[in-house]
Amino acid sequence: MGDELAIVLRLVADGRLSPDDAAPLIEALNRPSDPGARPTRPPARAELGQLPPPPPPASVNDPRQLRIRVSERGRQVVNLRIPLTFADTALRMVPGLSIEQGDRIRAAIAGKTMGPILDVEDEDGDGVVISME
C-alpha cells in the first residue's frame, strides 16, 4: 500500500473524509501510471472505510453496577459496588435475603431499573439497601 493510499485511508478512519469522497481518490491511486499496464484490484470495503457500524454505545441511563449497603445498629458496615455481570453471584452471598427479594432484585436487573430496588431496616438499625447505579 502506497503512502498516498495510507494517508487517504487514515483521513477516512479519522472521519475527516467520507468514504464516498475517498473512493475516487483511491481509484486514481490504484490506476496504473503506465496506460498499457494491468489495473490493480479494486479497493476492498474495509479500505474504503465502509466497515459495518459499531454497536451503539450503552445508554447513559443504563445501570452498570449493583450497590449493596449493609448497616448494623445504624452504622454502615458494608458499601459494595458490584458490576452487574457478578450481581447474581453476589446476591447469593447476602445473608438473610429471601428468595422473593432475590427474585425482585434479579427482575430489576433484567429490566435495567435505576435506583433503589430493596430497602429493608429493622427497629435496631440493622438493614440492607440494594440499588442499581
pLDDT value at 118 more than 80 = yes
pLDDT value at 27 more than 80 = no
Contacts of 96 by beta carbon, 8 Å cutoff, 6+ apart: 128
Q: What is the value of pTM for the model shown?
A: 0.49
| pLDDT tens-digit readout, 46-83 | 555 555 555 555 555 667 888 888 899 889 998 888 88
Q: What is the pLDDT of residue 102?
A: 84
CA 95 to chain centre: 31
**Rounded CA gap, 118 and 44, in Å?**
54
Q: How confident is the model at residue 85 (pLDDT cuts 50, 70, 90)?
A: confident
